[in-house]
Amino acid sequence: MAAPDDGRHLPGAHLIDAYGAGGFRLADLSHRGSLLALPSGMWAWGVAHPSELDEAAFARVIAEANAIDTLLVGTGGDIAPLRKPVREALRAAGLVVETMATGAAARTWNILIAEKRRVAAALIAVA
C-alpha cells in the first residue's frame, strides 16, 4: 500500500522546471519526493516506487476526476504498467490514463497545461 501524503500543497497548476535528484523544481520552489499535479494544485505524494501504485495511491486523483480528462502517470526512470485493479478504478472514474517514464510525463504535463487542457499528473520522483 502506498504511503500517505503529508498534506504539502501548492495551489494552482505550475509548470515543472526540472526533475531528478529525487524531486522536482516548480514555481521557484524545490520539492523533494513524488508529486501529484491536480486541478486543486501540486501535492506531495507518498509514492516512491511503481510497486506502490495501488488504488489508495490514486484516491486524491479520483476525488478530483470530474475536473480531469487525462491522467499522466510517471512511473520513475522506466515505464511500468499499472495493475489491472488500478487501471479499472481509474477508468471507472472516467479518466484516460497514459503511463510513461516520469521525465516524459513531466514534459507532457507542461505542454498540456500550457494548452489549458484538463490534465493531471502522478509523478514518481527519480534519482
Sign (positive/negative) of CA torsion 107, 120, 116, 10? negative
pLDDT digits (tens, 9 = 90+) for 54-105: 999 999 999 999 999 999 999 999 999 999 999 999 999 999 999 999 999 9
- pTM for the complete prediction? 0.94
3-state secondary structure of 102: helix
Q: Do residues 84 and 53 lie in contact, with contact meaning Cβ atoms separated by under 8 Å?
A: no
Residue 6 has pLDDT above 70, yes or no: no
Q: Which domains does the chain have, with CATH numbers?
A: 11-123 (3.40.1230.10)
